[in-house]
Chain A
Amino acid sequence: MSVTAQAPAQYRGAAVRPGPIGLLREAALEIWNRRRLIGYLVQADVRKKGADTLLGNLWWVIDPLLQMAVYVVLVSIIFQRDKPDYPIFIFAAILPWKWFQTSVYDGITSVTGAGSLIRQVQFPKLVLPVASSLAAVVNFAFGLIPLTALILLLFPHRLSSTLLLIPLIAFVQFFFNVAMSIGLGALNVFFRDIGNVARHAMRLWFYLSPGLYALSDLQAATEKLPIPLIRHILLWNPFAILFSAYRNVIYEGIGPDWGALGALLVASLILLALATLLFKRAEPAFAKVL
């Protein structure tokens, strides 16, 4: 009659709260102890996304291609801007952006979507945004298929060994994505219109980041801004760094700016710690509010 549970068999509902370091350690332990649960949740999520549609998970391959086509038409035909091999240029930005978008939107609803469960079962809620961020990685990985196909079939001269650096850049982006998911997931419990705000903020974010245009365009355009701070914010925004890094290795065939990427990794880890603290502080209230 022995039940070996990963959940604590004894607890005290006392008012003592661990400090920030204690909370972070608790969070790390929770994630590690519930890795199996996270695995199941990721599996379920991936299956669900392919379940109700005609083409199933094939959409993950088609979707970025269609979006790329829209931008190619818009920029090269309507705006008459000419960049060599523009499809690859733009695809290098669409891929990480779609990943970020999925991660953020799913992260926002990850906690509120499990409301009935949270009211009835005691488990570490942190597994929810973490699982949704991991499921989004699968989405990104599928996007690499059309990228490879595009390069091999249409632009073979762009094939370069720097493509192998993609996972390294993705590694940095992952921490940024998780931090956003955790933070926004917790906030959405208390403010249900985070999703609406995010939708518009994300659109603006994409257009202000060098996704459709090059980093050098952004540098040139912001040179004469009256307030230099705005220029710094735009040039140091995580997606200015990420888009440039992806574009360097996919389109230009050169290495990324390691310094900027390292700085982003450190900043993302700090953001992750802060988001986790916010989440852990808010967690006891979830069952009451949901």
Chain B
Amino acid sequence: MAVVDIDPDVPSAPSSSLPAAIQADGIGIRYSLRFTRKTTLQRSFINLFKHEPADQFWALRDVTFKLVHGESLAVIGPNGAGKSTLLQVLAGIIAPSEGTVEVNGLISSLLTLGAGFDQDLTGRENIRLAGAFLGLQGMDMAQRTPGIIEFADLGPFIDAPLRTYSSGMRARLGFSIATSVDPDILLLDEVLATGDETFRAKSKARVVELVRQAKGVVFVTHDMNWVTEFCNRAILLQHGRIVAEGDPAEVVAIHKEHSRRAKAEREAELAAALAASGGGVLPPDAAGSKLLR
């Protein structure tokens, strides 16, 4: 694996004079469980008359950090720590419930690839549609289209409706569109496991190229090799809060230590539960008869 040089001089340079690419101050994201997913009128009427405070859940709390130009920041942490939510906030998809986030520069987020694809449109038409969703000018997109088509390498399928595509082909098209813009700030969320072996190598080279060009990068990944190789700072998120920040190698070490401990705890709990049920007081049929009575 080639080690890519991300110009280590830049982050160590005095950053206070430069405007921050991203400045997040005490971001908190609150989810009200009253309105999550498929509430019906019936439920909300019930909630209206139950004078309980709505159940709230903080996906992120007190998240403060700064991304200076030229820096690439890794966000790591266990599942459900709020990593993807943080990227959604930075991309402007979710507004913070408290705190502020200031972004200077054009952001491109490669969150999940191929989000807005329309099954009935051809690949070429989907490129146009995706560009319009991302807010690019028509002329601009027209210039980029040949490059996107070439990189996706779909052959004649580019003019076939998307529902005829395999999932790999779809991912390739998505990746090509998402990486065709050259943004100031790049948000990446686990986008590297895409397509077959050849395409994966190609896409990795593309991401490395983008990382080098972008004025700032925020990675969310579970691939610790990427973190130590490509990032010059890392943040460890747990339960929506920053628990460690600093040198990638050190933060990764803390993360590994934490997950090892969490795993050990889970195993101990599981063992305890097994022991309790194994040496149970009642045999299964006794418990059954008790229920029947």
**B is a partner of A:** yes
Contact B101 A12 (CB under 8 A): yes
Contact A289 B116 (CB under 8 A): no
A-B interface pairs (CB < 8 A), number:
130
Of B72-80, B107-115, B145-153, the one touching chain A:
B107-115
Contact A10 B40 (CB under 8 A): no
Residue ranges of A at the interface with B (Cβ–Cβ < 8 Å): 1, 3-7, 9-15, 34, 36-37, 40-41, 44, 47-48, 51, 114, 116-123, 190-194, 197, 284-285, 287-289
Contact A192 B39 (CB under 8 A): yes
Question: In the docked arrangement, what's the CA distance between A51 and B125, Å?
Answer: 16
Residue of B nearest to A51 (CB): B120
- Candidates A6, A123, A197, A287; contact of B94 at CB < 8 Å: A287
Name 9 extra pairs, CB < 8 A, besides A15-B100, A121-B93. A9-B105, A11-B92, A12-B103, A13-B100, A13-B101, A117-B116, A191-B39, A192-B39, A284-B94
Residue of A nearest to B181 (CB): A3
Given the known interface contacts A3-B182, A12-B101, A13-B92, the answer about A123 and B133 at a Cβ–Cβ threshold of 8 Å is: yes
Contact B133 A121 (CB under 8 A): yes
Residue of B nearest to A50 (CB): B120
Contacts of A117 in B (CB 8 A): 115-116, 133
Is the CB of B104 closer than 8 A to any CB of chain A? yes
**Most chain B CB within a 10 A radius of its CB, from A3, A4, A6, A114:** A3
14 A-B pairs, CB-CB below 8 angstroms? Answer: A3-B183, A4-B139, A6-B136, A9-B106, A15-B98, A44-B118, A44-B120, A44-B125, A47-B121, A48-B118, A116-B112, A121-B93, A122-B93, A287-B88
Contact A192 B40 (CB under 8 A): yes
- Candidates B93, B98, B133; contact of A37 at CB < 8 Å: B133
What's the minimum C-beta distance from B143 to chain A, rounded to whole angstroms?
A: 11
Residue ranges of B at the interface with A (Cβ–Cβ < 8 Å): 27, 29, 31, 35-42, 44, 88-89, 91-96, 98, 100-106, 109, 111-112, 115-116, 118, 120-121, 125, 128-129, 132-140, 181-184, 213
Question: In the docked arrangement, what's the CA distance between A14 and B101, Å?
Answer: 7
Contact A48 B120 (CB under 8 A): yes
Question: In the docked arrangement, what's the CA distance between A117 and B116, Å?
Answer: 5
Residue of A nearest to B88 (CB): A287
Contact B129 A44 (CB under 8 A): yes
- Candidates A13, A44, A121, A123; contact of B96 at CB < 8 Å: A13
Residue of A nearest to B116 (CB): A117
What's the minimum C-beta distance from A279 to chain B, rounded to whole angstroms?
A: 15
Contacts of B95 in A (CB 8 A): 13, 284
Question: In the docked arrangement, what's the CA distance between A253 and B242, Å?
Answer: 73
